[in-house]
C-alpha cells in the first residue's frame, strides 16, 4: 500500500502546513520552493505509478485529495494576505465542496460508488489553479517577474474553467443518478 507513488503523495500532503506557515510569515522564497516540491511530487507520482504498475485504490483517492488540499489551502492563505481575490478562492473551494458532498449524497442514496474520472475541463481547471498559485507566489517573491495584467486575466480564466468543470461534474453525477433510478425502475 505504501509504495513510492503513494509516498510522494504523502510528502505533498505533509509539506502543506510548512508551506502555509512560510506564506503567513512572508517568507515567499521558501514558500515558493516548498510549493515547487509539492508540484514535483504531483508531477512524478502518477507517471511512476503507471510505469511501475504500482497504481493502487488508495493512490487513486489520495492523489486528488492531496491536490485539493494543496490548492484550497494555498488559495485561502493567499486570499487572506491579499494576493488572490477572495471571489476566486470562494469559487474554487465551493466547487470542490459541492462535488465532494454531491458524490457523498449519491453514495448515500444508492449505496453504490460512482466511478469518478477527471474530465478534460477538470484537469485544465486544476492545471490553471496550480499555475495561478505559482505565478502569484513568483510575484510575491519578485513582482517584476510577473506581468500584473497576466495575473488579472489568469484569475478570470481559472475561475471560468473551475466553474465549467464544476457544472460538468454536477451534470455527470445527476446523469449517473438518473441512470441508476431508471435501471431500478425497470427491475421493479
pLDDT 10s digits, 121-139: 998 999 999 999 999 999 9
Based on the structure, what is the number of domains in the chain?
Answer: 1
- pLDDT, tens digit, for every residue of 60-81? 888 888 989 999 999 999 999 9
pTM for the whole structure: 0.89
Neighbouring C-beta atoms of residue 109, cutoff 10 Å: 11
Of 140, 158, 147, 152, give the one whose Cα is nearest residue 33.
140
Positive or negative, the CA dihedral 44, 47, 52, 58 is positive
Please measure the distance between the N-terminal and C-terminal CA atoms of the chain and give it in whole angstroms.
41
- Whether the per-residue pLDDT at 106 is higher than 90: the answer is no
Give me the domain span that covers residue 58: 4-187
CATH of the domain at 133: 1.20.120.1760
Amino acid at each position: 500500500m505504501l509504495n513510492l507513488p503513494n509516498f510522494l503523495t504523502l510528502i505533498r500532503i505533509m509539506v502543506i502546513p510548512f508551506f502555509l506557515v512560510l506564506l503567513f510569515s512572508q517568507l515567499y522564497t521558501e514558500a515558493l520552493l516548498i510549493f515547487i516540491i509539492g508540484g514535483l511530487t504531483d508531477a512524478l507520482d502518477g507517471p511512476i505509478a503507471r510505469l511501475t504498475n504500482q497504481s493502487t485504490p488508495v493512490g487513486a483517492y489520495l492523489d486528488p485529495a492531496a491536490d485539493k488540499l494543496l490548492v484550497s489551502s494555498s488559495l485561502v492563505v493567499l486570499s487572506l494576505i491579499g494576493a488572490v481575490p477572495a471571489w476566486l478562492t470562494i469559487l474554487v473551494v465551493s466547487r470542490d465542496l459541492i462535488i465532494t458532498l454531491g458524490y457523498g449524497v449519491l453514495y448515500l442514496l444508492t449505496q453504490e460508488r460512482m466511478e469518478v474520472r477527471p474530465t478534460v475541463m477538470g484537469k485544465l481547471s486544476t492545471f490553471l489553479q496550480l499555475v495561478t498559485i505559482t505565478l502569484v507566489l513568483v510575484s510575491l517573491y519578485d513582482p517584476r517577474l510577473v506581468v500584473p495584467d497576466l495575473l488579472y486575466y489568469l484569475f478570470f480564466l481559472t475561475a471560468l474553467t473551475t466553474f465549467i468543470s464544476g457544472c460538468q461534474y454536477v451534470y455527470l453525477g445527476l446523469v449517473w443518478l438518473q441512470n441508476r433510478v431508471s435501471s431500478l425502475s425497470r427491475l421493479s
